[in-house]
């Protein structure tokens, strides 16, 4: 049974495994109160291929967390990434993902946004 995130004053924590079970989306943004960008994790069943899609505005960054995922891009190129692999995809670039395993799930984390980098705005408090 998924557990609720723990929320504090200006922070929230959770585990992807607590945000859902089985294949499909692990909604991250709403449960953790993320408002500055879109973010989800997705579990792909063995051999599963997503539909092709594009975005109107948001650029996406994918991080493969588990398994091996083949990324197919609009120019026909394919790239296969394992755990730790990263892929940046511009909004109008068609993309499709496929879990290359016939027996194990694969999981990726995806962050999407529009509006640009805000710069190095960290301030040391010590």
Q: What is the pTM of this model?
A: 0.92
Q: What is the pLDDT of residue 2?
A: 57
pLDDT per residue as tens, the chain (126 positions): 457 899 999 999 999 989 999 999 999 999 999 999 999 999 999 999 999 999 999 999 999 999 999 999 999 999 999 999 999 999 999 999 999 999 999 999 999 999 888 888 888 888
pLDDT of residue 123: 85
Say which residues have a Cβ less than 8 Å from residue 126's Cβ, sequence separation at least 6: none
Domains and CATH numbers, the chain: 38-115 (2.60.120.10)
Give every CB contact of residue 87 below 8 A, 6+ residues apart in sequence: 61, 62, 71, 79, 81
């Amino acid at each position: 049974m998924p557990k609720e995130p723990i929320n504090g004053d200006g922070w929230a924590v959770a585990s992807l495994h607590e945000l859902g079970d089985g294949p499909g989306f692990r909604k991250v943004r709403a449960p953790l109160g993320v408002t500055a960008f879109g973010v989800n994790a997705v579990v792909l069943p063995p051999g599963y291929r997503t539909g092709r899609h594009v975005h109107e505005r948001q650029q996406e960054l994918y991080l493969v967390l588990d398994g091996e995922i083949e990324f197919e891009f609009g120019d026909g190129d394919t790239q296969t990434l394992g755990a730790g692999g990263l892929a940046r995809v511009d909004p109008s670039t068609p993309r499709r993902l496929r879990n290359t395993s016939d027996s194990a799930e694969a999981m990726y984390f995806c962050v999407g946004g529009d509006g640009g980098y805000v710069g190095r705005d960290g301030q040391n408090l010590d």
